[in-house]
Amino acid sequence: MRLGDRIYVAGHGGLVGGALVRALKAEGHTDIITRGSRELDLRDQAAVRALFEQERPQYVFLAAAKVGGIHANSTRPAEFLYDNMMIAANVIHAAHVTGVTKLLNLGSTCIYPRDAAQPLREDALLTGPLEDTNRAYAVAKIAAIELCDQYRAQYGSDFISAMPTNLYGPGDNFDLMGSHVLPALIRKMVDARETHSPTVSIWGSGTPLREFLHVDDLADACLFLMRHVSVPGPINVGTGQDLSIREVAEQIRAVVGYPGELAFDASKPDGTPRKITDVSRIHAMGWHHRISLEEGLSNTVAWYLAHRGQVRGEALVGAGSGTAGTALA
């Protein structure tokens, strides 16, 4: 992937797509193709095909998806299944038909079975039932992996798939009705600090263990995979390190400077006790994360404070993974 190559980032307005565009520009890439959801509905096969015929991208990052937390996934599963299957099928097929050199499909570690052994290994895929609350989304993401693999098997298409763990960072969704746990905690603590609220309520006991990856590290991993890796199947991208939600909340409180108490509501669901990825495969390939949680939280809080008048809600924007509000998947 050379500096003059034409690169299409599908979902550039989302958390992951935005980070990919930043990373590409930082490296000197200038021929970056983007389309907002108002300009192009990726569920429309003819429109997607027309874009590829017109722009002729050589490399494609498929970071577009309908994303949301537990509430959105559990109350509108048909939308999450249909929209994400159509997005993936249209982009992957158009990439094949127009001779794209390479495509990177982004998914989520929610593709793995609900009761898979921890840490989550790539070979756990399709070995058991999925988590009910996001099964529709997970099935769509599994279908996208399979589609990439079968285009590779039948046509020799160089299509690969990366599965990031829970993501956070600049450009995240801070809407409390649809955000994941980390941005929701940031927003709640900022609000509580400014309104002098004595406590912040957090769903669950605080004991579940979760892994968090800064989105700029994911973007770095995507560029690495695009340049150096051509294999079928999912490739986990994460830190391989986890900590409890209580520990995460304490770190956020320190960064935000919130002086009040954290009230964990054990009557609310905790979700899976532990969720962490096995990243030995991508480590063996030569990639490791670089941004510590402390550093990542600091720049994410700073970004939120600077942009909170423009925080986005749920939309057809970009791939992500995690949990709804302050509930856990």
Instruction: Average the pLDDT over each of 9-13, 118-122, 161-165, 308-312 and give the range with the smallest value.
Output: 308-312
Active site positions, annotated: 137
Q: Longest Cα pair distance anywhere in the chain, in angstroms? A: 61
Residue 97 marked as a ligand binder:
no
Rounded Cα distance, 162 and 213, in Å: 13
pLDDT digits 0-9 by tens, 122-149: 999 999 999 988 899 999 999 999 999 9
Q: Is 15 annotated as a binding residue?
A: yes
**pLDDT over 90 at 179, yes or no:** no
Rounded to an integer, the average pLDDT of 167-183 is 88
Per the prediction, the chain carries an average pLDDT of 92
CA-to-CA distance for 241 and 62, rounded, in angstroms?
26
Q: Is 323 annotated as a binding residue?
A: no
pLDDT, residue 180, reads 82
Query: Which residue in the block uniquely carries the two structure tokens 């499909």?
Result: 105
Report whether pLDDT(215) > 50: yes
In order of start, what are the domains of the chain with their CATH numbers?
Answer: 7-167+211-237 (3.40.50.720)
List the one residue out of 19, 320, 9, 64 whose CA is nearest residue 175: 320
How far is the C-alpha of 214 from the C-alpha of 290, rounded, in Å?
Answer: 9
Question: Would the annotation count 120 as a binding residue?
Answer: no
Tell me whether residue 34 is annotated as binding: no
Task: Tell me if the pTM is above 0.95.
Answer: no
Model pLDDT for residues 284-329, shown as the tens digit of each residue: 999 999 999 999 999 999 999 999 887 654 333 333 333 223 333 3
Query: What pLDDT is recorded for position 116?
Result: 96
Q: Which secondary structure element, helix H or strand E, spans residue 17, and what is its range?
A: helix 15-26
Measured over the CA atoms of residue 149, residue 151, residue 156 and residue 159, the dihedral's sign is: negative
* pLDDT, mean of residues 232-245: 97
Angle, helix 15-26 to helix 215-228, in steps of 10 degrees: 60
- The closest alpha carbon to 27, from 275, 237, 227, belongs to 227
> Percent of the chain having pLDDT more than 90?
84
Q: Residue 166 annotated as binding?
A: yes
Quickly count: other Cβ atoms within 10 Å of residue 70's Cβ. Answer: 22
